[in-house]
């Protein structure tokens, strides 16, 4: 599989991965990976172990495996762990193992920890920073270090953010031993939910189901205008709905869809941008969505199945937006369609491979039935293994199951490496009271204006998201921002508040200067990463519209009547289509400046959520359509 970067301009968390381990170390890594997968599959199917083992084994194995497969520096040995790597492994086993063994006694001496506890906690924090640096870069550890300095020197801060300050010992205690720190909500959600869906994605890839998810869109949309790009949108939706990672989605599906788009005339940077933009949508599309959705379930107390259900319409609008944009991009450029001989027939495809839909249907069915997400993932993996035996060439034999386990464990390391540091950041926010200070600052600027508040939070999310995973950006930003949105001044329902932050946090994948998803697409397309990033920003612009709809309309079916729900959906659909036309600057033909203004006004009026402004929007669109048809287009 292609890495996220094949260009010096694209910075990726994979840059420190060892290209090939020596046989002995490879077996050690694969054995550890298999233990990780089997332990959590068993937990999902037959009941989780106690908290000390459930969380402890996850962090211990994740940190140790990262030390094996990720180098300390680019010039470190590429085929074996160095001395520093071995020390990191020993340190991970010692510190997390200490937490596991001493867990009952640590609870007894909470608030009165001994000197060895503090030393272990300090070492664990340093290890958390190091594994984060190796997997996702410097940004996350730097934020955590700044947070610790803020906790230490709170008295010296400006009055608006000042606090009493805390001794280093107290910061270590709270960061490592409290429920808000290294073993906090991020670690719990990863170990309980997210890791299983990462494993599910690896089993799907090995079973041949992924190829079916490419062929199905080809049969449905391949022969339409801009068919290659529409195939990319649909494929990214199918695959992303279970992959839960925009970057993994881009790399997995882009290796097929991006060359296909280029072959039919799409410019390289546009092809890369379409794939990356569509892949971001996988984070919003049930049944799996992104890791943040599982965090959202924990933070809101709502069942994951309810969050997934509420996300269907917004996710559909996002894919509709990208679909309409690529349609008019193809019309504007006069691009070719996919040749008929390359497009599979839908009937024959379903007849010969309908059973590939069973893992996805199993997942959805178990969630709808009210069972937990990790139970659904467990049975979906079993069904995937069973489905693979329908054809000899796709059978998940013991060797291929082993390969799937190793791939799944390896894919989990990037986000797993960030878990400890994210927990430390959350602990600092909680300890210092920044989660209470920040809302007061924003509310002093925004007052009761939801639009201004969302705009300020979008800027904060964009800055915070530069260089850290979207899940980390969501968790940290939501810690600060949800109290603002749910305050009496704003009055936004808690699920809407979390979804606003969840959507805004995705922009780090597609917005320059740090746009890892766009850079992954650029690498496959062999395009300029900067141009790809800005094109990606254009195709994914609905990221900034949906949060406003969450804040002002009943698109999430909260607090309104049936008529209001229907009006919210209809106006959002029409507004999204008009907005996408405005973004591309093309309707029947290329729009003149005054036509563009009329269409932009129509999009605004359609989104306002009022029947009369909606009618006026339709009239304006009709006026522009007539103008363009009469001009001889």
- The rounded mean pLDDT for the chain is 88
CA distance 510 to 282: 13
In a domain, 260, yes or no: yes
In a domain, 63, yes or no: no
Reported as a single tens digit per residue, the pLDDT across 110-137 is 888 999 999 999 999 999 999 999 988 8
CA distance 485 to 501: 10
In a domain, 58, yes or no: no
CA distance 303 to 611: 33
In a domain, 131, yes or no: no
In a domain, 472, yes or no: no
Phi, psi of 555 (to 5 degrees): -65, -20
Write down the residue that tokens 């600027």 correspond to: 445
pLDDT number for residue 2: 35
pLDDT number for residue 394: 87
Length of the chain: 633
Copy the structure tokens of residue 623.
């006026």
Read off the pLDDT of each residue in 218-239 and give the average, rounded to a whole number: 86
Q: What is the pTM of this model?
A: 0.82
Read off the pLDDT of each residue in 578-594 and give the average, rounded to a whole number: 94
pLDDT number for residue 329: 93
| Of 335, 368, 403, the domain-final residue | 403
pLDDT number for residue 632: 62
pLDDT exceeds 70 at position 7 = no
pLDDT exceeds 60 at position 349 = yes
pLDDT exceeds 60 at position 11 = no
Copy the structure tokens of residue 242.
């279970």
pLDDT number for residue 293: 83
pLDDT exceeds 60 at position 341 = yes
Burial class (CB in 10 A: 0-12, 13-18, 19+), 160: exposed
pLDDT number for residue 466: 66
Read off the pLDDT of each residue in 394-406 and give the average, rounded to a whole number: 93
Reported as a single tens digit per residue, the pLDDT across 274-287 is 999 998 888 888 88
| Of 380, 403, 426, the domain-final residue | 403
Q: Are 380 and 367 in contact (CB under 8 A)?
A: no
Residues in contact with 321: Cβ distance below 8 Å, sequence separation at least 6, in sequence order: 541, 542, 576, 579, 580
| Of 383, 403, 423, the domain-final residue | 403
In a domain, 204, yes or no: yes
Which of 28-37, 289-298, 442-451 bottoms out in mean pLDDT, i.e. has the lowest?
289-298
Reported as a single tens digit per residue, the pLDDT across 162-187 is 999 999 999 999 999 988 899 988 89
In a domain, 269, yes or no: yes
Domain tally for the chain?
Answer: 2
From residue 39, how far is each of 45, 49, 196, 244 by CA, in Å?
Answer: 10, 9, 11, 21
Q: Are 10 and 2 in contact (CB under 8 A)?
A: no
- Counting residues of the chain whose pLDDT is more than 90, the rounded percentage is 49
pLDDT exceeds 80 at position 209 = no
pLDDT number for residue 599: 96
Query: Residue 167: how many CB atoms within 10 A of its CB?
Result: 10
Q: What is the DSSP code string of 114-127?
A: -HHHHHHHHHHHHH
Looking from the CA of 329 toward its CB, the CA atoms found within 13 Å total 26
Higher pLDDT, 467 or 622: 622
Q: Are 87 and 69 in contact (CB under 8 A)?
A: no
In a domain, 195, yes or no: yes
Range of the domain at 632: 560-633
């Amino acid at each position: 599989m292609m890495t996220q970067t094949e260009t010096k301009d694209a910075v990726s968390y994979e840059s420190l991965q060892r290209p090939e381990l020596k046989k002995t170390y490879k077996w050690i890594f694969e054995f550890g990976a298999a233990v990780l997968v089997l332990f959590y599959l068993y937990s999902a199917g037959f009941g989780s172990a106690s908290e000390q083992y459930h969380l402890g084994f996850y962090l211990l194995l994740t940190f140790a495996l990262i030390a094996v497969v990720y180098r300390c520096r680019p010039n470190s040995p590429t085929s074996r762990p160095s001395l520093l790597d071995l020390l990191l492994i020993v340190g991970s086993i010692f510190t997390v193992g200490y937490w596991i063994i001493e867990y009952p006694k640590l609870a007894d001496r909470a608030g009165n920890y001994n000197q060895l506890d503090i030393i272990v906690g300090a070492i664990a924090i340093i290890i958390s920073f190091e594994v984060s640096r190796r997997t996702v870069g410097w940004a996350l550890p730097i934020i955590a270090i700044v947070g610790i300095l803020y906790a230490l020197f709170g008295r010296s801060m400006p009055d608006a953010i000042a606090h009493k300050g805390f001794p280093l010992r107290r910061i270590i205690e709270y960061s490592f031993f409290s429920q808000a720190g290294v073993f906090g909500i991020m670690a719990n959600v990863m170990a309980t939910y997210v890791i299983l869906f990462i494993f599910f994605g690896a089993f799907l890839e090995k079973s041949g189901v992924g190829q079916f998810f490419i062929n199905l869109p080809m049969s449905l949309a391949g022969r339409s205008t801009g068919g290659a790009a529409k195939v990319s949108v649909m494929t990214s939706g199918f695959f992303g709905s279970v992959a839960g990672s925009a970057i993994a989605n881009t790399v997995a599906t882009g290796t097929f869809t991006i060359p296909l788009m280029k072959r039919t005339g799409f410019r390289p940077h546009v092809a890369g941008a379409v794939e990356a933009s569509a892949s971001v949508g996988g984070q919003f599309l049930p049944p799996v969505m992104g890791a943040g959705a599982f965090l959202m379930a924990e933070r809101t107390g709502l069942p994951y199945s309810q969050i997934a259900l509420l996300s269907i319409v917004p996710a559909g609008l996002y894919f509709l937006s990208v679909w309409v944009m690529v349609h008019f991009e193809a019309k504007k450029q006069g691009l070719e369609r996919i040749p008929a001989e390359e497009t599979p027939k839908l009937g024959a495809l379903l007849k010969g491979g309908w059973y590939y839909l069973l893992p996805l249907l199993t997942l959805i069915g178990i969630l709808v039935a009210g069972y937990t997400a990790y139970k659904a993932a467990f049975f979906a993996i079993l069904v995937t293994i069973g489905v693979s035996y329908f054809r000899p060439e796709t059978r998940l034999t013991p060797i291929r199951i082993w390969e799937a386990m190793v791939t799944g464990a390896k894919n989990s390391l990037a986000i797993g490496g960030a878990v400890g540091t994210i927990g430390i950041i959350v602990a600092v926010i909680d300890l210092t009271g920044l989660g209470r200070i920040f809302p007061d600052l924003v509310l002093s600027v925004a007052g009761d204006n939801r639009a201004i508040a969302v705009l300020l939070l979008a800027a904060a999310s964009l800055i915070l998201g530069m260089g850290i995973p979207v899940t980390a950006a969501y968790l940290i930003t939501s810690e600060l921002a949800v109290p603002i949105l749910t305050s009496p001044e704003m009055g936004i329902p808690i699920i809407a508040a979390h979804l606003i932050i969840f959507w805004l946090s995705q922009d780090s994948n597609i917005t320059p200067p740090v746009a890892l998803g766009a850079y992954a697409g650029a690498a496959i397309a062999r395009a300029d990463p900067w141009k790809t990033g800005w094109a990606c920003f254009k195709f994914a612009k609905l990221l900034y519209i949906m949060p406003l709809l969450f804040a002002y309309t009943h698109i999430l079916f909260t607090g309104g009547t049936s008529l209001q729900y229907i009006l919210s959906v209809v106006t959002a659909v029409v507004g999204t289509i008009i907005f996408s036309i405005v973004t591309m600057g093309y309707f029947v033909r290329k729009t003149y400046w005054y036509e563009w203004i009329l269409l932009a006004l129509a999009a605004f009026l359609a989104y306002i959520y009022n029947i009369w402004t909606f009618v006026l929007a339709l009239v304006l669109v009709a006026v522009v359509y007539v103008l363009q048809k009469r001009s001889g287009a």
